[in-house]
Chains A and B, each alone.
Chain A
Amino acid sequence: MISLQISQVDFSYLDGLVLHKIDLSVKAGEIVGLLGPNGSGKTTLLKLASGILKPAQGEIRLDGYSISQLSRKYIARKVAVVPQQFHIPFAFTTGEIVMLGRTPFLRALAEESEADRRLVNNALELVGISELAERRFNELSGGERQKVILAMALAQQPKLLLLDEPTVHLDIAHQMEILELVRELNTGQGLTIIAAMHDLNLASLYFDRLILLKEGRVWADGTPNQVLTEARISEVFSALVRVEQHPLTGTPHIVIMPKGSANHQK
């Protein structure tokens, strides 16, 4: 079981304040989408949650423990991160990359065990890329690479999975595939999931709870229906949209209104 509590967190890079007084908690088993314009602090918030950035103010607790007190190794056994892209300069095979997910569990001079290999095979299977195991990571397509990194994260056997825009740069079929998988990890495996998302419609379809950030503050937090309103979206993104209902799921469906289209409405 894992829960994440972020209380009164401020964070700034050298050139300015990025997050202000962030307060939010995520309970074990939740699936949460982080939304907000570019630069609103989504990625920074994920980096704080994984402990690789330290808050200037406030505290982040993982399972009740202050994350600043936990070793990287301990965190890596509980929390896995799927960043947007990896560039890997050497010719590792897919199987070797997924095995890297076992790093926090391996002792320096030990060999990986049968159990480690089984976990890697399970992760490859779960993500549906067993047939890629012997292929070189650098030769794969963007969608395949994203799946490999996801499989690597799963080999960590995390309780909390953080994803940074997992569908960016992917075509619509791969977007669906990744998000269906993430959803399945949440309902089937009980993983707690927080994902930064840029596509509002995908976020609305696949996440139970959405957190909307604007200029480093939490602007809205709730179900897709509560968060994705026309007023909020125009406030936060300064974009003209109409919110309709998805014909199958009933969740909000955002329709972009091109400039000049207002005239056609009447």
Chain B
Amino acid sequence: MRRRNKLILVLSLLGVSLIAALFLASAFGAVSISLPDIVKMALNKVAIFDFPSTWRAAEETIIFQIRLPRVIGGALVGMALATAGVLFQGLLRNPMADPYIIGTSAGAALGATIAMLLPINLAFLGFGLVPIAAFGGALATVFLVYNLARVGGKTPIISMLLAGVVVSSLMAAIMALLISLSDRLQLNLQSVYSFLLGHISVTGWEQIAVIAPLVIGGIIGARFFAFHLNALSLGEEGAAYLGVEVERDKILILSLGSLLTAAAVSISGLIGFVGLVVPHAMRLSFGPDHRFLLPAAALGGGAFVIIADLLARTIMAPTEIPVGIITAIIGAPFFLYLLRRTRKEYAF
């Protein structure tokens, strides 16, 4: 029971830091707006409070129409990637697995590249063609990899990893070919680059309204598999002995993880390290029990991407750095530190 209370405390602290990060990131930008004002604005919106306005109307517009959608978008991306990372690492029993491991990144990148190639300007639910194509490409690739790896009614994890690597390389090659052949893409190299390195491109509430239910639904859905993910640590056979319908769970967990990843990719491109580092940091700090790990990683991932995105748009303002560069610069050394400090916990 004491352990349980400790875990609840940790989850609450992570939740508080996520909210703190939301407000902090809203305060900074081309125009600085004071934190108390933002808190008051937010409370006026959501609750029965009625604080007198000590801010300009323009500031309120900036907060609600520009910053909050972006900051919340960042939170959703981080939550989705970290949860997908936990799901893939748990299912594949591979601590090096990340949300992109079975081909979502290559599929999304190829989809996005093809979309940039097309001279069509289309928008659907606030999304342009590129995010839609990235979303579709990610899901289609996972489906392809899963079916390629399927042998005699089963999909062994090792063949899935191999098929993922091969399909990813093939798609990366096709993407490189398209870029080198197309003048249009050569001119758009900046956008391709920005997609590959990650850039949170949320321009309004419409996108949030589509992505938020996907991400929140995915996170809640993932929690249903916590016990089974724990059992899957014993391997497919061991989990089956404990009553897990392994092939069915595999499809469901892969679908959830891929949907979360695709949702994130559609508004942010490929942000590396979040799905790898955040699950590890949580697991090494608080243990591998997925009942706790899943919510902890979601909250921690959200806060991490918000802060990374805040740095990305402020440290070299007005130039914006791709957020994936920040996550890698923070994430890689941190990961190495964790690995060296606790190497004995992993029996490779």
Contact = CB atoms under 8 A, between A and B. Distances in A.
B109 to A, nearest CB: 29
Contacts of B235: 86-87
Interface string B159-177: 0000000000000000000
Contact of A136 (B230, B243, B345): B345
B289 interface: yes
Contacts of B224: 108-109
A85 to B, nearest CB: 10
B242 A156 contact: yes
A92 B286 CA distance: 11
B189 interface: no
Contacts of B283: 90-91
Of the four ranges (under 10, 10 to 19, 20 to 34, 35 or more), the interface on chain A belongs to 20 to 34
Given A72-B243, A72-B244, A76-B241, A100 B289 contact: no
Interface in B328-348: 344-347
A97 B129 CA distance: 47
Contact of A73 (B243, B284, B346): B243
**Which of B4, B152, B225, B234: most chain A CB closer than 10 A?**
B234
Interface string B229-261: 011011101101111110000000000000000
Interface in B118-134: none
A52 B237 contact: yes
Given A86-B234, A91-B287, A92-B289, 15 more contacts: A52-B237, A71-B243, A71-B245, A72-B244, A73-B245, A77-B243, A83-B237, A88-B233, A89-B95, A90-B233, A91-B283, A100-B231, A100-B233, A100-B242, A109-B224
A213 B238 CA distance: 25
A75 B243 contact: yes
Contacts of B345: 91, 136, 138
A100 B238 CA distance: 10
Contacts of A14: 152
B227 A89 contact: no
Nearest to A89: B93
Contacts of A101: 242
B234 A100 contact: yes
B288 interface: yes
A103 interface: yes
A106 interface: yes
Interface of B: 4, 93-95, 152, 223-228, 230-231, 233-235, 237-238, 240-245, 283-284, 287-289, 344-347
A108 B230 CA distance: 12
A138 B342 CA distance: 13
Contacts of A108: 224-227
A50 B241 contact: yes
Contacts of B94: 89
**Which of A72, A73, A80, A109: most chain B CB closer than 10 A?**
A72
A88 B232 CA distance: 9
Given A89-B94, A100-B231, A81 B241 contact: yes
Interface string A50-88: 101000000000000000000111111100110100111
A104 interface: yes
B154 to A, nearest CB: 11
Contact of B288 (A52, A81, A92, A109): A92
A96 B230 CA distance: 9
13 contacts: A52-B240, A72-B244, A76-B243, A77-B243, A83-B238, A89-B233, A92-B233, A103-B230, A106-B227, A108-B224, A108-B226, A138-B345, A156-B242
Contact of A72 (B223, B245, B287): B245
Interface in A91-126: 91-93, 96, 100-101, 103-104, 106, 108-109, 111
Contacts of B289: 92, 96
A235 B224 CA distance: 53
Nearest to B345: A91
Contacts of A90: 95, 233, 283, 288
A80 B242 CA distance: 8
B238 A104 contact: no
A138 B234 CA distance: 12
Interface string A7-31: 0000000100000000000000000
